[in-house]
Structure 1
């Protein structure tokens, strides 16, 4: 799990972690996530992405396990060190995909941390689906999960209908408005991350 969207992580810069994708070839979901992460990088943040191939290497979460694999530890450690997170999921049967949910379940490892789960972190949300209906329900599911993990969903979430929007290998999409929406997510998590740190440090 060493895919980084903007080169080696600079420990002097705050980190945005991207979580999303599908098992198999690089998906529209991952391409959308990359656009949002690049916008955060342009605001001075380091970024690290856990895509479909990364999440496929995570075993099914077992809360009773006494040890974790190197891939599991790398994922949890990255989120622990993050100032913000962006989650992107395809809409599968009206909700988030199993691999994304499994990765988020693994954050139970942080339950006893000083900052558990996604507490005090801004979280950007992206849903992609072949049609509009699943995008809305998937965004709603993501918001509910982030609230349960004590995170702050950013005001804007991107719902992308891949029936009408196509992503390319060069980091763009057929609809410029969709690209701007994804960039807005990256800018929002970057904008709210310093506010989240102030709240955490003040104990609010």
Structure 2
């Protein structure tokens, strides 16, 4: 498999721009600086029909998401912390990945996923990060060793060097794992033509 590493980025905040989106865009920029190609889902691109709604699987926005995730070598995923867990918007997007169950690499199989959560306080974001990592595991993905939590609005000052280092590291882990997996498998398992957009 040749060409740049491809990452799907999912932002689980209904607001745009949001603290979560700004955080993810910084991480995505680090991934791009490492040569990755990024497909960013935020705002309207992630406002999908409720999973299970008749006809939802053929909705163009759902097909766009599912096709991008199926073709991705890795993911960056972020959510605001809502009552100690991930947002319903993000959970609904994950539920739509059920469309990938019968693929050669079902769900997020074998792909690294960098997880990021923004919230107030220490306990809520930590709980939400744990929930996000559990969802990624359930979808057969590999959460990166580093997960990022932020207490309050991120990147309020350019001098927030510690946070920037963490964002760069999680992006580097996703890209490095994707490159290593490609080297071993030759890209086998990445289903570029997973879903027909004309379905």
Which category describes the TM-score, using the shorter chain as reference length?
A: 0.7 to 0.9
Matched, 1:76 2:61: no
**Counterpart selection for 1:119 from 109, 112, 115:** 109
In the aligned structure 1, how far is the partner of 2:159 from the partner of 2:102? 44
In the aligned structure 2, how far is the partner of 1:17 from the partner of 1:71? 14
The answer as to whether partners of 2:75 and 2:114 remain within 8 angstroms in 1 is yes
**Counterpart selection for 1:50 from 28, 41, 45:** 41
In the aligned structure 1, how far is the partner of 2:78 from the partner of 2:177? 18
Higher relative contact order structure (alpha carbons within 8 Å, sequence separation ≥ 6): 2
The answer as to whether partners of 1:95 and 1:138 remain within 8 angstroms in 2 is yes
CA deviation after TM superposition for structure 1 residue 174, in Å? 5.4
Superposed, 1:38-187 pairs within 5 Å as: 38-56=29-47, 58-62=48-52, 65=55, 67-162=57-152, 165-167=153-155, 173=158, 175-187=160-172
Q: What count of residue pairs does the alignment treat as equivalent? A: 187
Provide the TM-score with structure 2 as the length reference.
0.86
Counterpart position of 2:179: 194
In the aligned structure 2, how far is the partner of 1:74 from the partner of 1:201? 21
For the residue of structure 2 that corresponds to 1:128, the secondary structure is: strand
**Cα RMSD (Å) of the superposition?**
2.1
For the residue of structure 2 that corresponds to 1:156, the secondary structure is: coil
In the aligned structure 2, how far is the partner of 1:140 from the partner of 1:13? 30
The answer as to whether partners of 2:148 and 2:167 remain within 8 angstroms in 1 is yes
In the aligned structure 1, how far is the partner of 2:89 from the partner of 2:188? 35
Q: C-alpha offsets along residues 126-156 of structure 1, whole Å, 9 cap, x if unaligned?
A: 0100211111001100111011000111100
In the aligned structure 2, how far is the partner of 1:45 from the partner of 1:151? 19
For structure 1, which segment, 94-103 or 18-27, has the greater mean C-alpha deviation from structure 2 after superposition?
18-27
The answer as to whether partners of 1:24 and 1:53 remain within 8 angstroms in 2 is no
The answer as to whether partners of 1:22 and 1:52 remain within 8 angstroms in 2 is yes
CA deviation after TM superposition for structure 1 residue 65, in Å? 4.2
The answer as to whether partners of 2:32 and 2:38 remain within 8 angstroms in 1 is yes
In the aligned structure 2, how far is the partner of 1:202 from the partner of 1:25? 35
In the aligned structure 2, how far is the partner of 1:104 from the partner of 1:185? 20
Q: C-alpha offsets along residues 88-124 of structure 1, whole Å, 9 cap, x if unaligned?
A: 0111000000000000111000000001100000000
